[in-house]
Amino acid sequence: MSTDSRACDAVVVGAGFAGLCMLHRLRGIGLTARVFEAGTGVGGTWFWNRYPGARCDVESLEYSYQFSDELQQEWEWTERYASQPEILRYLNHVADRFDLRRDITLQTRVASATFDETANRWTVRTDAGDEVSARFFIMATGCLSSTNTPAIPGRETFAGPMLHTGRWPHEPVDFTGKRVAVIGTGSSAIQAIPLIAEQAAHLTVFQRTANFSVPAQNRPLAAEEQRAIKRDYADLRGRGAQMAFGFDTRSSELSALAVSAAERQAEYEDRWAQGGLPFLGSYADMLFDRAANATAADFIRGKIRALVRDPAVADVLTPKGIVGCKRLCSDTDYFATFNRPNVTLVALAASPIEAITEGGVRTAAALHEVDCIVFATGFDAMTGPLLRVDIRGRGGRTLRDKWAEGPRTYLGLSSAGFPNLFIITGPGSPSVLSNMVPSIEQHANWIAACVAWMDARGLRRIEASPEAEDAWVAHVNEVADATLYPSCNSWYLGSNIPGKPRVFMPYLGFPAYVEKCAQVAAGGYEGFALA
């Protein structure tokens, strides 16, 4: 174990769900670790995304840690889908309950990390001038932590406040009496729009691509319902672990095309009434077969037409593509919000944004005067936070250079040429195509077990072999190519960021992935070179 205060066994970057859990696991195997977090508090996603309506869309009882039975028994969730303040309270409770804060340095961004091949150590430097030497360098930087604010001409001339959903201010934002613009109609916008519309004098929504959304059917969690789950929590966790997305989607094994239209309608109505993302579990071929998918897409389109009174507005809000190809959204009163007299929908497909002016947003068709602009324009997902750090592996090669044509990893956990670097929920792992908390825990457990195994054998270096990495990348692509995911533009493919290579980044299939990771470990870390 290291004794020098500027040296430790591991540096962990980020103090969200992943960083907190990783720190706890490393301590559990007797290692010293330092966590650096750019924010002024712990919580990651739930620290930064404070916009109105922010909440999880995987049920709270599943979107939570399972590493401590005491924790999962004692924490009481108040709603089916917890709000951002509640999840942030939970993560702060975790930090206190497991005494994590003493190893976390806040308000400090890791700027670079360089591998020393002789010492088998990483030298990690921060923007605050820290320099720390560590055996392991663990990126818990999140998939959705680098915000994307499009470079719209004239942005700097706007006279009023400009906010991004992913960097929301800590003090309350009051839209009363204001004319507000929201740019974007992804998950964040779909949660924020109904609440902003209630407060603002006028809300103008700038939509580039219409999105599929299903009602969350959020509600308070009844004490008895929560007690019943907690009596056999392992049952719920076990069911989730068997599902492709790592949570209980009540997935059917039937094809949508093997049942009658009336049966399908009943199934979709039932899932719509139950609410949330398990809508995608209705049929096994939903994400594999265009005709099967079209039955669900048409069902949602019908719902939009029924919910939105003005047929012209309904038409603009109706998505044309494949449901689930972009991440499915889950909402409370999103479509009905467009019935309000103080809400205007602007279809950018017909008239793109040309500029932001001092007083508003100008499209090819009109100038929309507003007092405030909300960018709900998403993130440079998955690779963004990793590549913002200057990571240099063997031979001084940078990760940015290696990934110039798209990310390449073995199991999403590791990249050839970068020994002793681990990535939590990296590209090539189920990550954003799964309930992320179990995915994060599975990675933290795997990494801790791997390090403990190495230490027991006096091994100092682990590195993915190029062959294992190539085979894994090919497998990730093969799995993706069998689905409908590559057929649209989504942030899963990097296509929301101009110039980003078009590569499908996450791996579909939580259970198969967990099994593969377990096999690799059981086989003495197959596919890795150990020294």
Cβ distance to ligand FAD smaller for residue 90 or 410: 90
To ligand NAP, the closest distance from the beta carbon of 148 in angstroms equals 7
Distance between CA atoms of 424 and 350, rounded to whole angstroms?
A: 40
Site membership for ligand NAP, residue 218 (CB under 6 A): no
- Rule CB under 6 A: choose which of 61, 100, 104, 144 binds ligand FAD: 144
For residue 531, give every residue at least 6 positions away whose Cβ sits within 8 Å of its Cβ, in sequence order, or none.
Answer: 120, 459, 460, 461
- Rule CB under 6 A: choose which of 23, 37, 42, 57 binds ligand NAP: 57
- Rule CB under 6 A: choose which of 8, 22, 56, 139 binds ligand NAP: 56
**Residue 50 contacts which entry, ligand NAP, ligand FAD, none (Cβ below 5-8 A, type-dependent):** none
- Rule CB under 6 A: choose which of 88, 138, 144, 391 binds ligand NAP: 144
For residue 125, give every residue at least 6 positions away whose Cβ sits within 8 Å of its Cβ, in sequence order, or none.
Answer: 110, 111, 112, 113, 131
Distance between CA atoms of 212 and 185, rounded to whole angstroms?
A: 10
Site membership for ligand NAP, residue 208 (CB under 6 A): yes
Q: Mapping DSSP to helix (H, G, I), strand (E, B) and coil, where does residue 139 land?
A: strand
Stretch that binds ligand FAD, among 142-150, 282-290, 316-324, 366-374 (CB under 6 A): 142-150
Distance between CA atoms of 324 and 483, rounded to whole angstroms?
A: 11
Q: How many residues bind ligand FAD (CB under 6 A)?
A: 36
Of the chain, the end-to-end C-alpha distance in Å amounts to 18
Distance between CA atoms of 306 and 529, rounded to whole angstroms?
A: 59
- The runs of H, that is alpha helices, within 200-232 are 223-231
| Cβ contact 304:310 at 8 Å | no
Cβ distance to ligand NAP smaller for residue 458 or 499: 499
**Residue 192 contacts which entry, ligand FAD, ligand NAP, none (Cβ below 5-8 A, type-dependent):** none
Cβ distance to ligand FAD smaller for residue 137 or 299: 137
Distance between CA atoms of 177 and 35, rounded to whole angstroms?
A: 43
Cβ distance to ligand FAD smaller for residue 53 or 319: 53
- Per-residue contact string for residues 91-120; x = within reach of ligand FAD by CB under 6 A: ------------------xx----------
Site membership for ligand NAP, residue 188 (CB under 6 A): yes
Distances (CA, A) of 150 to 40, 196, 379, 404: 25, 21, 10, 21
- Rule CB under 6 A: choose which of 28, 150, 154, 511 binds ligand NAP: 150
| Cβ contact 63:202 at 8 Å | no
Residues paired with residue 207 on neighbouring β-strands, in sequence order? 347
- Rule CB under 6 A: choose which of 41, 186, 215, 494 binds ligand NAP: 186
- Rule CB under 6 A: choose which of 436, 447, 462, 473 binds ligand FAD: 436
Stretch that binds ligand FAD, among 56-64, 94-102, 199-207, 353-361 (CB under 6 A): 56-64
Q: Which residue is nearest to ligand NAP (CB)?
A: 186
**Residue 378 contacts which entry, ligand NAP, ligand FAD, none (Cβ below 5-8 A, type-dependent):** ligand NAP
**Residue 353 contacts which entry, ligand FAD, ligand NAP, none (Cβ below 5-8 A, type-dependent):** ligand NAP
Cβ distance to ligand NAP smaller for residue 209 or 339: 209
**Residue 527 contacts which entry, ligand NAP, ligand FAD, none (Cβ below 5-8 A, type-dependent):** none
Site membership for ligand NAP, residue 483 (CB under 6 A): no
Stretch that binds ligand NAP, among 89-97, 180-188, 449-457, 474-482 (CB under 6 A): 180-188
Site membership for ligand FAD, residue 57 (CB under 6 A): yes
Site membership for ligand FAD, residue 18 (CB under 6 A): yes
Residue 519 tokens, joined: 């096999």
Helix (H) or strand (E) holding 12: strand 7-13
**Residue 342 contacts which entry, ligand NAP, ligand FAD, none (Cβ below 5-8 A, type-dependent):** none
Distance between CA atoms of 265 and 238, rounded to whole angstroms?
A: 29
Which residue, among 389, 8, 371, has the nearest Cα to 159 in the 3D structure? 371
Which residue, among 118, 352, 114, 82, has the nearest Cα to 219 in the 3D structure? 82
Cβ distance to ligand FAD smaller for residue 106 or 254: 106
DSSP 49-109: ---TT-B-SS-TTTSS--S-HHHHHH----BSS-BHHHHHHHHHHHHHHTT-GGGEE-S--
| Cβ contact 447:411 at 8 Å | no
Sign of CA pseudo-dihedral 509, 511, 512, 517:
positive
Chain residues binding ligand NAP by CB under 6 A are 56-57, 144, 150, 165, 183-189, 191, 206, 208-209, 327, 330, 348, 353, 376-379, 432, 491, 496
Chain residues binding ligand FAD by CB under 6 A are 13-19, 36-39, 44-45, 47, 49, 54, 56-58, 63, 109-110, 140-145, 188, 385, 389, 424-425, 435-436, 440
